[in-house]
Structure 1
Amino acid sequence: MSTSPPRKLLDPSELGTKEYWEAVYTRELHNNTEDADDEGVIWFDESNAEDTVLKKLASYAEDRGLLDSSQTSFLDLGTGNGHMLFAIREDEDEDGEMRWQGARMVGVDYSPKSVELARQLDAQRREEGGEENEILFEQWDLLGEEPGAWLEGGFDVVLDKGTFDAISLMPNEGAERHPCEVYREKVVPLIKAGRYLLITSCNWTKDELISWLGPRGGALELFDEAKYPTFTFGGQTGQSVVTLIFRRTA
């Protein structure tokens, strides 16, 4: 039985199509092949989202004891060029040591060209930096396929930096349920019980994300929020992006 979405859906856009992202990563792959220093777009770079997420993860490991930095496993949904996982792998603690050394890291994307680009960049970075921790990048469609052997027992941290945004812009094509309504039931099994989904969005507010992912039907509860600088416009105060941390309860 279908249920009504928690709010008005966004209008479909080419940013919600696989063809668009294949074209983007084909271009970025070509650019990197021509110039190894050109690694492509870093999502939400203008909002410093990547560093904000890194600081939040570090606080969970060092200040709150919620994550073991040597054993935490990461899954990056819609990994793109893989830059989020590269940043985690290269993140240093106060002693200059790799904070997440030994952590298992997997990046998945439904775009084959994205995966090709991420693998190419990973090989380049490891060759230049002597890094031993190779990241596994796999082609996978969150909404349409079952997880592969890479799932193992699930992940401590599932990262979504713009993937739910892109899903929000997908054409519905007459399906009974919009992809946004399918997202949560697909993402929950990827997370170990008691562990975390970190989701960053520029399309949805905090309350809207909670309405999509929060207590309806259980499984995910809001656990924490990363803070960004705020702006005021038209008497309203807000952030350009939102990063929420949900915890899997069961």
Structure 2
Amino acid sequence: MAESKPTPLEPSKLGTKAYWDALYTTELTTHTADPSLEGTVWFDDSDAEAKILSYLSPQDGSHPNHPHPHSLSPATASVLDLGCGNGSLLFSLRDDGWSGHLLGVDYSPHSIALARQVALSRESESLKTVEFKVWDVLNGDIPSISPPEAAQGWDLVLDKGTFDAVSLSDEKDSQGRRINEGYGERVLQLLRTGGVFFVTSCNWTEAELREWFETSTAPNDQNTKLRMVGRIDYPSFSFGGVKGQTISTLCFEKVVVDA
């Protein structure tokens, strides 16, 4: 494994569970008073959810420039959303025809309470219900959330801002690392071989995300690793001769390492 890692972020209150519990408590109260107010949709100003859905659209020849010809079927693919918040991304997938096993997890019980309440307010919709569970991405028991129909792992794992929040925590793991350094290892454990992982970030550049998930995350005991296979384009800007985006979304596939 290469030792290259991006420069750590300065810790912030956004990396604490207390911050997210307080935020989702407020949003839960607001939704109770007015069900039309479902809470924050992260990266909504960049239209991230719509872009992710477009990327994941079935490969029927209608997207000739599709960056990654995945084989996921909306009818059967199992989907796990890490740090699901109010469940917005999973609801969008469901409304777009993804009717397999959809599970959102979050370590804040107030987030899960909000997501479940939003789901109930939408229960008249005809598509399959989304499931939500309180679960810690870094410390939760993986078998407890494994899709029953696919014991080898999830077909699709999503992260829209959760790695950002974890990267703002000053907590250390049992190896003395900042806890975000073990995030890629957990993603590998959650995915089936051939499954894909989407991560959207406003704190890390594309190059840094590749370092975290493709370079710094070592192959696991099954000799699999994460390999970048695609990216999503967002409006770019130039400053000082350098071109960039305000957010980044990369797609990684869990692949077997060549012998």
How far apart, CA to CA, are the structure 1 residues paired with 2:88 and 2:247? 18
Q: TM-score, normalised by structure 2?
A: 0.87
- Residue 59 (structure 1) shift: 4.9
Q: TM-score, normalised by structure 1?
A: 0.90
Matching residue of 1:149: 144
- Residue 144 (structure 1) shift: 1.6
Q: Secondary structure at the match of 1:184?
A: helix
Contact preservation (8 Å) 2:94, 2:127: no
Matching residue of 2:46: 47
Matching residue of 1:9: 8
Matching residue of 2:222: none
- Residue 233 (structure 1) shift: 2.0
Shift in CA distance, 60/11, structure 1 to aligned 2, threshold 3 Å: farther
Matching residue of 1:228: 234
Shift in CA distance, 30/61, structure 1 to aligned 2, threshold 3 Å: farther
Shift in CA distance, 71/177, structure 1 to aligned 2, threshold 3 Å: same
- Residue 69 (structure 1) shift: 1.9
How far apart, CA to CA, are the structure 1 residues paired with 2:42 and 2:254? 25
How far apart, CA to CA, are the structure 2 residues paired with 1:61 and 1:201? 29
Matches within 5 A, 1:136-175: 136-152=131-147, 153=151, 154-172=153-171
The partner residue of 1:67 within 60, 66, 72 is 72
Shift in CA distance, 241/59, structure 1 to aligned 2, threshold 3 Å: farther
How far apart, CA to CA, are the structure 2 residues paired with 1:61 and 1:169? 40
How far apart, CA to CA, are the structure 1 residues paired with 2:49 and 2:205? 18
Contact preservation (8 Å) 2:77, 2:156: yes
- Residue 235 (structure 1) shift: 2.2
How far apart, CA to CA, are the structure 1 residues paired with 2:23 and 2:208? 28
- Residue 234 (structure 1) shift: 2.5
Q: Deviations over 1:163-200 (max 9, x none)?
A: 00001000135861111211011111111101100000
How many percent identity over aligned positions? 41
1:82 to 2:87 alignment: yes
| Mean CA deviation greater in 143-152 or 38-47 | 143-152
Shift in CA distance, 5/144, structure 1 to aligned 2, threshold 3 Å: farther
Matches within 5 A, 1:1-250: 6-60=5-59, 64=69, 66-91=71-96, 99-100=97-98, 102-127=99-124, 129=125, 131-152=126-147, 153=151, 154-172=153-171, 176-216=176-216, 217-218=218-219, 219-250=225-256
Contact preservation (8 Å) 1:5, 1:181: no
| Mean CA deviation greater in 160-169 or 172-181 | 172-181
2:161 partner amino acid = G
Q: Which has the higher helix share?
A: 1
Aligned length: 238
1:117 partner amino acid = L
Shift in CA distance, 184/125, structure 1 to aligned 2, threshold 3 Å: same
- Residue 149 (structure 1) shift: 3.2
Shift in CA distance, 132/174, structure 1 to aligned 2, threshold 3 Å: closer
